[in-house]
Amino acid sequence: MTNLVIKKDVEYDPINHQVTDIYYDGDLKEACGALIDIHGGGWFRGNKSKDADSSERFVGEGFLVVTPAYRITPKAYYPAPLEDMDHLYEWLKKTDLPFDHDHIGAFGSSAGGNMVVELGIKYGIPIASLSGILDIDDWLGKHEDVVAAEGDTSGFNSTASANINQTGANDPFYKWFVTNYFNGRTDQYVEATPYHRVTDKTGPMYLANSLNEFVPTSGVLTLAQALTDHQIPYTTRMVPGSRHAKGYLDDVYDDVVAFLKRNV
């Protein structure tokens, strides 16, 4: 049993007043490393409490976990959430929290999966992404005829992450929340698509997706090719059905933990 310690709403960015929750085992003198656990929600819904379950679970694996809030639409648009994660990472490196500061990784779902991939590219840290929003410019270019539609997203604030939008492919919704992230701008799609910026210093990646969900598998496959081109180690996992992100976490959990323990 772990002696779970939770510190709520610790400010990591005094300029934009962004906060994070911190989870760790109080019986450990030092955690093996830190995990940044980034919630999903299409950059327009969700909050850090959505990932309390996974954060507590990762503490049981020996990690200290930071689970941040970040700016979402309509208060802020791309690249504000990514800038928040830059501030979080810089803050985490400087803290005196009880973990080995040479070992930081990240785990994220959906929009959070996009954001952890960005951290892996920028800082060379290992990441695990479930249903990350990874194909932006190419997908939008090939789906100009799709009419963007939000549909009923009222459940985002009250429904467990594992139960959101698990009805198979939904191109109108995917197009709606991706374009919403850019507030109508179309000139940022390329720069916001992660696989264009993979380098030889990118961190190892674990990339999962369902085969028939609203997040297209093309993002994983194209990113995997970019990682191959730069000789970056990665693992891909395609699971059957239409479950989204943490909806299949139990299926891939042992894989994810093994990957993180091996690389963080």
Whether the upstream peptide bond of residue 79 has omega within 30° of 0, thus cis, is yes
* Residues spanned by the domain of 26: 4-263
**Total count of domains within the chain:** 1
pLDDT band at 169 (very low <50, low <70, confident <90, very high): confident
Does residue 226 surpass a pLDDT of 70? yes
Nearest CA to 199 out of 103, 118, 113 is that of 118
pLDDT in tens, 70-106: 999 999 999 999 999 999 999 999 999 999 999 999 9
> What's the half-sphere exposure (Cβ side, CA atoms, 13 Å) at 2?
20
Average of per-residue pLDDT across 44-54: 95
CATH number at residue 230: 3.40.50.1820
Cα distance between residue 135 and residue 150, in whole Å: 19
Contact call for residues 107 and 54 (beta carbons, < 8 A)? yes
Average of per-residue pLDDT across 236-249: 95
> How large a percentage of the chain has pLDDT more than 70?
94
Q: Strand, coil or helix: what is 34? A: strand
* Residue whose token pair is 């270019």: 141
Integer angstrom CA distances of residue 18 from 7, 23, 57, 72? 14, 17, 24, 11
- The DSSP bridge pattern shows strands 18-25 and 4-13 to be antiparallel
